[in-house]
Amino acid sequence: MSAISQRSFNDVRDALLSKREIAFLDVREEDPHAQRHPLFAANVSLSKIEFDAFTKLPRKSVPIVLLDDGEGLAERAARKFEELGYTDVALFEGGLKGWERAGGEVFRDVNVPSKAFGEFVEAKRHTPALSAEAVDALLKSGEDVVVLDARRYDEYQTMNIPGSISVPGAELVLRARALAPDPKTRVIVNCAGRTRSIIGTQSLVNAGLPNPVAALRNGTIGWLLAGQSLAHGSARQFATDDGRTDAASREAARAVADRAGVKRTTFAEAKRWADDANRTTYRFDVRTPAEYEHAHAAGFQGAPGGQLVQETEMFAPVRGARVVLFDDDGVRANMSASWLAQMNIDVYVIDDATSADLTEQVPWRAAKPLPAPTPTITANELAALLDNPASQTIVLDFTASANHVKGHIPGAWWTVRSRLALDLPALPDAKQYVVTCGSSALAAFAGPDVAALTSKPVLLLEGGTAAWIAAGLPLAKGETHLASPRIDRYRRPYEGTDAPHEAMNAYLEWEYGLVAQLERDGTHGFFVI
């Protein structure tokens, strides 16, 4: 087996500075990634490479540089990428410690390029903001105020400012004039922390909304820290036709995009780019998920504009790639593109869209390789096996740990695929294994790993745990049978309402420090119009 090449700190840094294409990937699980990583090291965990590779890295010859923290994950990931047909795969020299020894800045948390950019915008533009106490007083006084929540709708439903309306980020400029038609109405934009409220507020300012506009400083975190109560299960949303015919918003969005240097293209040209073996092109439809599923253009991935700006490195991890955006209103793509351009991304907006181009009517399905075949077992057959202790059958659950805690097959052991070699030896002895996850899609790739490590028979549960539930079979709940530590997901301090106040305050302090970290890092190329 040939040795895997390595790329140095200076080489990677030069690629970032010169905007040469590079997929700088941290292949650890999300929690260790969130503890320490370089700014543009996107998290693509070894456990899910087959799920992510063809969507996130659409060009097989893209230069890939893999990072871990000395666990040996990067070399395993390199072999996996090579098996999938990628031709330019290298390890980062010295791993994370090598990055730090060379003087590289390391960052905490997830979606850091976008969050750091939000702080950069506020520092440069002095985006207007009001404290939680000030907003609460305005609402209680009966003043003419509307609060627009810029997060995803599911986040809004979990917790929201009482009386607020769900208007996810890219929808703000399109919908705000209809939601606050009186220019004297004060508009407050909030998210859970800071980034989406800053970007949302500044979007309305940039687009010339005549109303007084301000961000809720520190979002729902700030609201909770001020001792104020949040609502739960709210369902207030914009009307579908809000703003769709508003020429002022459309003209303003185009002017903002032009100022930011957004370029224009056509469907035909974007298709030619997608087929170009020498340059990576991402194509995103930035409308709402419901609009996307109703009808979208072939080859365009659904990426609601607010989340695309919030999670840019997860949607488009190849730094230096070309990004093409589509909408059907002339506002959402232009506003989203204006922010991507300021994040130093080569971004284009489709200009020749017609309804005839929207030929697809199914959810986005990422391209994936075929897993090696594994014999299957039905839910009822598995239940019979588990009722017979002599079968010594162990079920391995590869779903997200949060899903396992919500409900799993009784006795099933939750495990992280990349840790199988470490964690399997600690489990009870087995004559055979059954692998599952929510749908068995990931388990299908994990099954051959288990067989190779144990030399025992391995069966794949048909339809996964969802099929077990559909068969009316019992579930266990809670943090039971955890074979691996719960490192698959980083617990964000702004999720839910149960995070300790110390963690919330620490998160805000971290965000405040991001501009200084950007300056020390020096690779971002961000600017603000």
Among 108, 32, 107, residue whose Cα is nearest residue 73: 32
Mean pLDDT (10-residue bins), the chain, 529 residues = 90 97 98 98 98 96 98 97 97 98 97 97 97 96 96 95 96 96 97 96 98 97 94 93 84 97 96 96 96 94 96 97 96 98 98 84 88 96 95 97 97 97 96 97 97 97 97 95 96 78 89 95 97
Compute the distance between CA of residue 170 and CA of residue 191 in angstroms, rounded to an integer: 13
Homologous superfamily (CATH) of 117-238 is Rhodanese-like domain (3.40.250.10)
Which residues neighbour 203 within 8 Å (Cβ) at sequence distance 6 or greater? Answer: 169, 172, 173, 256, 335, 339
pLDDT at 364: 83
Of the CATH numbers 3.20.20.60, 3.30.70.270, 1.20.120.1810, 3.40.250.10, which one belongs to the domain with range 376-470?
A: 3.40.250.10
What pLDDT does 496 receive?
Answer: 67
Instruction: Indicate the pTM of the whole model.
Output: 0.95
pLDDT computed for residue 240 by the predictor: 84
Thinking of the domain 5-110, which architecture would CATH place it in? 3-Layer(aba) Sandwich (3.40)
pLDDT of residue 498: 73
**Per-residue pLDDT, 493:** 81
Please tell me the predicted confidence (pLDDT) of residue 474: 96
**Helix-strand-coil percent breakdown of the chain, rounded to 5?**
45, 15, 40
The pair phi, psi for residue 283, each rounded to 5°, is: -120, 120
Decide if 117-238 and 376-470 have a common fold: yes
Say what the pLDDT of residue 8 is.
Answer: 97
Domain residue limits, the chain: 5-110, 117-238, 252-357, 376-470
Instruction: Evaluate whether the domain defined by 252-357 bears CATH number 3.30.530.20.
Output: no
**Residue from 94, 37, 107, 63 nearest 518 by CA:** 107
Residue-by-residue DSSP string for 187-251: EEEE-SSSHHHHHHHHHHHHTT-SS-EEEETTHHHHHHHTTPPPB-S---B--TTTTTT-HHHHH
Cβ neighbours of 363 (radius 10 Å): 10
